[in-house]
Amino acid sequence: MSMGFKRILVIFRWRRFLQLFLQGLVVLAPIVITVYAVVTLFNTIDNILPNIIHSLFPHVLEHNSTGELERTPGLGFVVVILIVLLVGWISSSFVVTRLVHILDKVLEKTPGVRFIYTSVKDFMEAFAGNKKKFDQPVLVNVDGPDIWRVGFLTQESAAHFELEDYVVVYVPHSYAISGITYLVPRYKVKPIKNTGASDAMKFVVSGGVTHVD
C-alpha cells in the first residue's frame, strides 16, 4: 500500500470521525441546553419560598451540612405557580381590577419607579397580555430595494413622531434576545399571512435554519 493511499485513508477516517462528532453534537446540544435551562429555572423558582420564609421567620428553617436552607424539592416551585394562578384568578374580579387599576396609575406617576414599572409592564404585555405586540409577523424593507427582514408590526402608526404614513416594526436579531426598532413607510411592510408569529420568531432567532411550514 503506497504512502499516498495511506495518507488519503487517514484523512478519510478523520473526516468521518469529525462528521460523526458534529452529528452527535447537533443531536445532544439542543437536548442538553434545554434540560439545563429548565432545571436552572426550576431550581431558581424552587429556592424562592425557603428564602422568603427564612427572611420572615429566621428560626423556622435550618441549614444543612453544606450551609444551604433545608427545603423540599419542588415545593417552592408549586407554591409560586399556585400564587401566580391565585393572583390571576383574583385579579379577574371587578373590585380587584379597580384596585389594580388605581395602583397601576399610582406607579405610572411615581418618579423613578415609573420607568422600571412601565418598561416591565409593557414588555410582559407584549408577549402575554391583552396588548400583544409580537403577533403580527411582517416582511420589512430597510436595507435595499430587494432586501427584506422578518419582523413584527408593533404599532400601526408612528404619528406621535410626526410620521403620518409610517409604521413601527421590531426586527429581532438571530441567536440573541436583542433587536432593532424601525420606523418605516407603510408601503415597505408586507404582512406574512401564511406563517404564525411563533414560527416567524423561531425562524429569525435560528438564523433562518428552522423550517417554516
When pLDDT is averaged across residues 104-119 and rounded to a whole number, the result is: 74
Q: Where are the domains of the chain?
A: 137-205
In sequence order, what are the beta bridge partners of 185?
Answer: 166
CA angle 177, 182, 185 (to 5 degrees): 150
The percent of residues above 70 in pLDDT, for the chain, comes to 72
Residue 166 confidence (pLDDT)? 94
Helix/strand/coil (H, E, C) string of 40-87?
Answer: HHHHHHHCHHHHHHHHHCCCCCCECCCCCECCCCCHHHHHHHHHHHHH
pLDDT tens digits along 59-97: 656 666 666 666 667 767 777 777 777 777 776 666 666
Mode of pairing for the β-strands spanning 189-191 and 137-144: antiparallel
Task: Tally Cβ neighbours within 10 Å of residue 166.
Answer: 19
Q: What is d(CA 206, CA 62) in angstroms, rounded to the nearest whole number?
A: 45
58-62 long-range contacts, CB within 8 A, separation 24+: none
The closest alpha carbon to 152, from 209, 206, 190, 208, belongs to 190
Could you report the per-residue pLDDT of 160-207, keeping only the tens digit for each? 898 989 999 999 888 877 888 999 999 999 999 888 888 888 888 888
Is pLDDT of 118 > 70? yes
Whether pTM > 0.85 for this model: the answer is no
Backbone angles phi, psi at 162, to 5 degrees: 60, 35
Say which residues have a Cβ less than 8 Å from residue 121's Cβ, sequence separation at least 6. Answer: 104
Q: Give me the pLDDT at residue 33, please.
A: 81
